[in-house]
Amino acid sequence: MRMYDLIEKKKQGLELSTDEIRFMIDGFTDGSIPDYQMSAMTMAICFQGMSKRETVDLTLAMRDSGDVLDLSAIEGIKVDKHSTGGVGDKTSLALTPIIAALGVPVAKMSGRGLGHTGGTIDKLECFPGFTTEISEETFCKNVNNIKIAIAGQTANLAPADKKLYALRDVTDTVDQMSLIASSIMSKKLASGSDAIVLDVKTGNGAFMKNLEDSRALAKAMVSIGTMAGKKTAAVITDMDQPLGYAVGNSLEVIEAIETLKGGGPEDFKEVVFALGSLMLEFAGRAKNQEEARGLMQQVIDDGSALQKLAEFVSAQGGDASYVFDTDRFPKAKKVTEVKAVKEGFVHRILAEEIGIACMTLGGGRETKDSVIDLSVGIILKKKNGDAVKKGDVLALVYSNDDQKLEPAMDKILHAYEIEDEKPEVGSVIKEFIFE
Ligand code: URA
C-alpha cells in the first residue's frame, strides 16, 4: 500500500477502506508517512469529505494508536463530558462537583486552552498547587474515594490525534466535520468511560458557525460513540455570545463557584443542568430530566456540591481555602470600563472576538508554549437582548499591561453588535441529539 495512492483516491472523491485508514494512521503515528503527505490528505478530506463509515474507522484507528485506559478498577458507571470549545465555558468546573456530590463517578480528561477558547486545566490551576499530572493509580483511587478526578491528556492517549491536530492547526484543516468528530471521539473512547455527554457549541465563537453544521457534527459524534458501545448524547448550545458573564481564567472560576453557591448566570446554569441531567440519567442515578434537575438543585442548596469542589481541589494538591474565599484569587491591577458608543439593543456578542480580546490581555495561549496570566479577563455587563444607552458600560476589562489594554478594548467594542430593534433571544440550549 502507498500513501500516494490513498491521497489520489481521496482526491477523486472515493472512499478509503478500513485497512487503508489503519495503514495511514499507523504510518503517520510511527513517522513512516511524512507530514507533507498527511497534510495533502487532510486537505483532500476537507474538499471531498468522509463517509460515516470512514469517519468511524478514522476514529477507531486514532483511538488504537496509543493507550486505551482501563477504568474497571473504578466502581459504578463512569460518565464523561466534553465540550467542542467555547468562550466563557467554565461548565466542567461547576458540573463535575455536582455530579460527584450525587455519588456518580467523574473520571475526566481535560485539556488546556488554545487560541480564543479556554481550557479546564488552566482554570483549575488558578488554585495554587493544583495539578492534573497525577498517576493512573492516584486517578482511580481519587475517583473511588471522592468520586472525582480530572487529569491532563497523557502523551500516549490517542497520539495520532495529537500529531494530526498539530498538523491541521497549521494547514487550515481544523474545521472539517469528520476530522473534528474523529479527533474528539478518539480521545473520549481512549479515556475509558462508559458513557459520554457532548456539549456541541454553535455560533460565531464555535468551530461550527451554524445550527445545520453543528447538528451534523453532533450526530456524527453521537453515532461514533454509540457504534463503539458507549451511551452517547449531545446538547447543542449557543455560542453567539460568551457563556455567562466572565471570560478569563480566575474570573471564570469565581463565576463557577458563585453558581455552586446557588447564584450564577442563568444561561450558564441552563447548560450545566442540561448536560448534568443527561449524565445522571446515563449513570442510572435519575429516571428522567425532572428528577435529575431536582437532585442537582438539592446538592447546590445543601452546599455539598461546593464542598465536593473543595475536596477535589485538595485531593489534587490545590489550596481549597480559595473555594470559600474567592477574594484570595489573584486580581488584575487595573479595571477599565468599555462604554457603548450608540443606543439600541444587543443583538450578538461576537464570542470569538471576546475570546481573542482575553488572549490579547495575556489570558489565553497564542502558541502551545505561551505562559498565561490567570488574573486578566473580561466581565460582560450587557448580554444579548439587553437595552443599551450611549455611555452605558458594556464590559469591564481586567488587565495588567497598558499596552495590551487598548487593542483588547477595541476588540470588545467591535464584538458588540447593537441594533435599533429588540431581538428575539432564544434559549442557550438549541437541541438535544440522541442516536
Ligand atoms: N477539539 C478537538 O479535540 N479536536 C478538534 O478537531 C476540534 C476541537
What are the boundaries of each domain within the chain? 3-49, 79-324, 331-419
219-229 mean pLDDT: 95
Instruction: Please provide the CATH number assigned to the domain covering 331-419.
Output: 3.90.1170.30
pLDDT score of 117:
73
CA 303 to centroid of ligand 1, rounded, Å? 34
**Given 183, 191, 223, 375, which residue is catalytic?**
183
Ligand 1 atom 6 nearest Cα: 180
Between the CA of 207 and the centroid of ligand 1 the distance, in Å, is 9
180 touches ligand 1 (CB under 6 Å): yes
For β-strands 195-202 and 231-238, DSSP reports them as: parallel
User: Which of 42, 162, 174 is the best mutation target for the ligand 1 pocket, counting ligand atoms within 8 Å of the beta carbon and taking the most?
Assistant: 174
Q: What is the DSSP string of 199-255?
A: EEEESTTSSS-SHHHHHHHHHHHHHHHHHTT-EEEEEEEE-SS-SSSEESHHHHHHH
Distance 183 CA to ligand 1 centre (A): 5
Of 61-65, 162-166, 199-203, 312-316, least confident by mean pLDDT is: 162-166
Residue owning the nearest CA to atom 3 of ligand 1:
184
Task: Please say if 261 is a catalytic residue.
Answer: no
Ligand 1 atom at minimum distance from 179 CA? 6
pLDDT at 114: 67
pTM comes to 0.94
How many C-beta neighbours within 10 Å does residue 212 have? 10
CB of 119 closer than 6 angstroms to any ligand 1 atom: no
Ligand 1 pocket test, candidate residues 63, 121, 153, 165, most atoms within 8 A of CB: 165
DSSP string, 336-372: EEEE-SS-EEEEEE-HHHHHHHHIIIIIS-SSTT---
* CA of 185 relative to ligand 1 center, distance in Å: 9
**pLDDT at 226 > cutoff 90:** yes
CATH code that applies to domain 79-324: 3.40.1030.10
100 close to ligand 1 (CB < 6 Angstrom): no
Mean pLDDT over residues 409-429, rounded? 97
Query: Pick the catalytic residue: 22, 81, 82, 269?
Result: 82
Q: Is 427 helix (H, G, I), strand (E, B) or coil?
A: coil
Please indicate whether residue 168 is annotated as part of the active site. yes
Average pLDDT over residues 230-256: 97
Q: What is the mean pLDDT of residues 145-172?
A: 90
pLDDT band for position 156 (cuts 50, 70, 90): confident
201 lines ligand 1 (CB under 6 A): no
Report the length, in residues, of the chain: 435
- Residue 329 CB less than 6 A away from ligand 1: no
Query: Is residue 59 within 6 Å of ligand 1 at its C-beta?
Result: no
Known catalytic membership, residue 183: yes
CA–centroid distance, 165 to ligand 1, in Å, is 7
SS3 86: coil
Ligand 1 nearest-atom number relative to CA 180 = 6
Cα of 84 vs centre of ligand 1, distance in Å, is 7
Determine the pLDDT at residue 393: 98
Give the model confidence (pLDDT) of 385-400 as tens digits: 999 999 999 999 999 9
Distance between CA 200 and CA 234 in Å, rounded? 7
Rounded to the nearest integer, the mean pLDDT of the chain is: 95
- CATH number of the domain located at residue range(s) 3-49 in this protein: 1.20.970.10
> What percentage of the chain carries pLDDT values higher than 70?
99
Distances (CA, A) of 93 to 64, 153, 252, 305: 29, 17, 9, 11
Q: Higher confidence at residue 73 or residue 429?
A: 429
pLDDT digits (tens, 9 = 90+) for 124-144: 999 999 999 998 889 999 999
Q: What does each C-alpha distance from 234 to 182, 223, 414 come to in angstroms?
A: 15, 10, 32
Residue 147 annotated in active site: no
pLDDT digits (tens, 9 = 90+) for 11-46: 999 999 999 999 999 999 999 999 999 999 999 999
Q: Provide CB contacts within 8 A for 259, sequence distance 6+.
A: 94, 265, 268, 269, 272, 300
**Ligand 1 lined by 85 (C-beta under 6 Å):** yes
Is the predicted pLDDT of residue 424 greater than 70, yes or no?
yes
Q: Does the pLDDT value for residue 378 go beyond 90?
A: yes
The band of 118, judged by pLDDT with boundaries at 50, 70 and 90, is confident
Q: Which of 168, 201, 215, 308 is catalytic?
A: 168
User: What is the Å distance from ligand 1's center to 300 Cα?
Assistant: 31
What whole-number distance in Å separates Cα of residue 87 and Cα of residue 239? 8
d(CA 186, CA 164): 12
| H helix or E strand, kind and range, residue 79 | strand 79-83
Closest Cα to residue 235, out of 259, 258, 265, 211? Answer: 211
Annotate 8-74 with three-state secondary structure. HHHHCCCCCCHHHHHHHHHHHHHCCCCHHHHHHHHHHHHHHCCCHHHHHHHHHHHHCCCCCCCCCCC
pLDDT (tens digit, 9 = 90+) per residue, 178-220? 999 999 999 999 988 999 999 999 999 898 999 999 999 999 9
In contact, 55 and 16? CB cutoff 8 Å: no
287 is catalytic: no
Cβ of 183 below 6 Å from ligand 1? yes
